[in-house]
Amino acid sequence: MKGCRIAITGGIATGKSTVANMFAELGAVILDADQFARQAVQPGAPCWKELREILPDDFFDPGGHLERRKLRECIIKSNECRDQVNSILHPCVMHAMEQERQQRVRSGTHNLIIFDIPLLFEAASAHRFDIVVLVYAPRETQIQRLQNRDDISRQQAESTLAMQLPIEAKKQMAHIIIDNTFGLEHTKKQVLKVWRELQKRTEGRQVTL
């Protein structure tokens, strides 16, 4: 399956970034949606201009840079704000990531290219990919990790999780699951196994995942 399109996703505090870094260490090219999103909202960018039209002036500093923390708070509190921002950001980010993928392919890279997209299912973009890898941890583990990481209350953690599809629903839609509930060594073993299987897929050999 040469040209196989692969995405990795997860939920808040499931450890998706940790797993993506493991794939990068093995040689994968990781196209990080968060990095592309930061580029998309730089002053003067087309996406930034659209956001300026829908967001209040105090969402931008004197230099025109987006106040990301304020936007995040708005997204948590308001479904309308979240939907408006996502309708602008998601298409822009996906387009930029696809352009980067095509450039890498044209340059003749032999590395696996993996799209790292936190909101893959929420953005209804899973159909774009041949293989979707989900980094999984149970909801209760997500809550505990989020509380510890951000020093927030359980209620705040639950409100943050409510912005995304439940992890169990994502689990049903993914092709491959990497369980990051336990220690790093347990996760690394799964990543290495999946890495080998993905390489076989991209070489055109059928394997059972």
Q: Count of CB atoms within 10 A of residue 19's CB?
A: 25
- The domain ranges of the chain are 1-28+112-209, 35-110
Residues 181/187, Cβ–Cβ less than 8 Å: no
pLDDT by residue for the chain (209 residues), tens only, comes to 457 899 999 999 999 999 999 999 999 999 999 999 999 999 999 999 999 999 999 999 999 999 999 998 899 889 899 999 999 999 999 999 999 999 998 998 778 999 999 999 999 999 999 999 999 999 999 999 999 999 999 999 999 999 899 999 999 999 999 999 999 999 999 999 999 999 988 775 443 33
pLDDT at 204: 57
Q: Buried (b) or exposed (e) across 47-80, using 16+ Cβ within 10 A? A: bbebbbeebeeebbeeeeebeeeebeebbeeeee
Look up the pTM and report it.
Answer: 0.90
Question: 1-28+112-209: which CATH topology?
Answer: Rossmann fold (3.40.50)
